[in-house]
Amino acid sequence: MIMDINNLGFAKELSDQMKKTSSGPFIVGRITQEHRERYIVSTGDQSYEAEITGNLRFTARSRSDFPAVGDWVNISVYDKDQAIIHEILPRRSVLERRAAGNSADTQIIATNIDVAFIIQALNNNFNMNRFERYMSLCYSSHIEPVLVLSKIDLVSDQEIVDAVSILKKRAGKVRHILLSNTTMEGLSQLMATIEKGMTYCVVGSSGVGKSTLINNLLRKNTLKTGEISTHTNKGRHITEHRELFVLENGGIIIDTPGMKEVGMTDNPKGITTAFQEIIKIGRECKFHNCNHINDEGCAVLEALDKGNIDRDSYNNFIKTQKEQARFRTTIAEKRKKEKGFGKMLKNYHKDINRLNKGMHE
Ligand SMILES: Nc1nc2c(ncn2[C@@H]2O[C@H](COP(=O)(O)OP(=O)(O)O)[C@@H](O)[C@H]2O)c(=O)[nH]1
Ligand SMILES: [Mg+2]
Ligand SMILES: [Zn+2]
């Protein structure tokens, strides 16, 4: 296949955008890999090892100001296969989570994504609450979630039926696919959802079959796969990384490392969309700022009593919302501290100026 920039999903809207923003002798490429602030950028027909400019690094205020896999970037080439990244072009969508630990930062999973395949292995990893978390992250940024239940070859038919009934009850409108990377059941259904020029990513815990799925889609063993024991850390160690691939049918797909925590970001849109049934009923509550926990005249609690809202889903809704509120507090505190620090710096410079003046007088 002869490749050019269009094979990476380069769209007209982007080229229009570029005409407006870019200047200088740059060429545009897409980040296909990231290894600790070193990047691989592809222009379709060529790949470059790239670093960001000092200026980009210097003006970065948070981790999301650094390039991520999926980003469109302006680069300048200075050697056969070496380049400098000057600018990140505006992101059409960003899949991100709260950074692990107790930080006030978010971490980008991938950018410019149309569809996320959220994978859970049915034999030991199925968890509807976690699905709802991933769905919330997708809906925060116009990304369509597709729920994939993998390793169906390892479970009984009854287990499949039970899982699907939970999916239908709690995410009835969301597409789902039953998959085995071993028998290939469901692979053609998944392949059929992939369109030319659109960008997809696979997300989920470690060991659920993300890389195996991509190998199957590529029809070759490009990515290393294997069981990682999370308890003992023994066994074959797979260095997991983010990487973008172009499939034969023209779809673009990004592999991501396994995630242990799926922390909510501060964007409330995702949770509101993922739990829209609850939100809709909540419009009937007596008070418009009802928090649906113990308020008088709460339509959500009433629906819960009548069995019109799934109790597990409700509990997860309350939990993720609380977590989001806490995260927002953490961010607000951080900003306040930064502001305080900024003020201190200002005063410091004022003092220095005054001293300097005094010396000259
Ligand atoms: N039985 C079975 N094993 C699978 C399936 N998908 C992946 N595996 C195996 O599960 C292990 C982890 O797969 P991998 O793709 O590395 O998971 P990742 O961490 O999500 O990328 C490997 O040993 C795969 O061969 C599946 O559908 N059925
Ligand atoms: Mg993997
Ligand atoms: Zn209410």
Q: Write the CATH number for 72.
A: 2.40.50.140
Closest CA to 95 of 66, 128, 138: 138
Query: Which of helix, strand or coil describes residue 221?
Result: coil
Neighbours of ion ligand 3 (CB under 5 A): 285, 290, 292, 298, 300
Residue written as token pair 């003046």: 357
Find the CATH number of the domain harbouring 168: 3.40.50.300
In a domain, 155, yes or no: yes
**In the predicted model, what is the mean pLDDT of residues 138-160?**
97
Q: How far apart are CA 145 and CA 155, in angstroms?
A: 24
User: Is the CB of residue 309 less than 8 Å from the CB of residue 300?
Assistant: yes
What confidence category does residue 101 fall into, taking pLDDT thresholds of 50, 70 and 90? Answer: confident
Query: Which of helix, strand or coil describes residue 140?
Result: coil
Structural domain span for residue 73: 5-88
Residue 134: the pLDDT is 98
292 C-alpha to center of ligand 3: Å?
A: 4
Q: How far apart are CA 185 and CA 216, in angstroms?
A: 12
Nearest CA to ligand 1 atom 9: 209
Closest CA to 41 of 5, 92, 2, 13: 5
In a domain, 261, yes or no: no
**In the predicted model, what is the mean pLDDT of residues 105-112?**
94
Of 31-45, 152-166, 258-272, which has the strongest mean pLDDT? 152-166
Q: How far apart are CA 220 and CA 102, in angstroms?
A: 40
* Terminal Cα-to-Cα distance of the chain (whole angstroms): 74
In a domain, 262, yes or no: no
What confidence category does residue 2 fall into, taking pLDDT thresholds of 50, 70 and 90? Answer: low
In a domain, 349, yes or no: no
- Is the shortest distance between the CB of 227 and ligand 1 below 6 Å? yes
In a domain, 175, yes or no: yes
| DSSP 8-state class, residue 241 | -
- Partners of 111 in the β-ladder: 94
- Total structural domains within the chain: 3
Residue 125: the pLDDT is 95
- Is the shortest distance between the CB of 212 and ligand 1 below 6 Å? yes
- Residue 53 token pair: 């400019």
From the CA of 150, the nearest ligand is 1
From the CA of 215, the nearest ligand is 1
User: Is the CB of residue 227 less than 8 Å from the CB of residue 235?
Assistant: yes
Q: Which of these three, 32, 56, 88, is where a domain ends?
A: 88
Same domain? 249 vs 198 = yes
Same domain? 215 vs 242 = yes
Q: Which of these three, 69, 88, 107, is where a domain ends?
A: 88
Nearest CA to ligand 1 atom 6: 209
In a domain, 350, yes or no: no
Mean pLDDT of the chain, nearest integer: 89
Same domain? 150 vs 183 = yes
Q: Which of these three, 204, 221, 255, is where a domain ends?
A: 255
249 C-alpha to center of ligand 1: Å?
A: 23
Phi and psi at 348, nearest 5°, equal: -60, -45
Find the CATH number of the domain harbouring 310: 1.10.40.50
- The mean-pLDDT minimum among 3-7, 28-32, 112-116, 349-353 falls in 349-353
Question: In b/e form, how buried is each residue of 106-139, taking b as 16+ CB within 10 angstroms?
Answer: bbbbbbbbbbbbbbbbbeebbebebbbbbbbbbb
Same domain? 243 vs 216 = yes
Same domain? 238 vs 112 = yes
In a domain, 205, yes or no: yes
Same domain? 76 vs 98 = no
From the CA of 118, the nearest ligand is 1
- Is the shortest distance between the CB of 186 and ligand 1 below 6 Å? no
- Is the shortest distance between the CB of 225 and ligand 1 below 6 Å? yes
Same domain? 219 vs 153 = yes
Same domain? 106 vs 75 = no
Same domain? 106 vs 132 = yes
Q: Given the CA of residue 238, which atom of ligand 1 is nearest to it?
A: 16
Same domain? 164 vs 298 = no
Residue 238: the pLDDT is 56
Same domain? 124 vs 216 = yes
- Is the shortest distance between the CB of 216 and ligand 1 below 6 Å? no
Same domain? 215 vs 120 = yes
In a domain, 358, yes or no: no
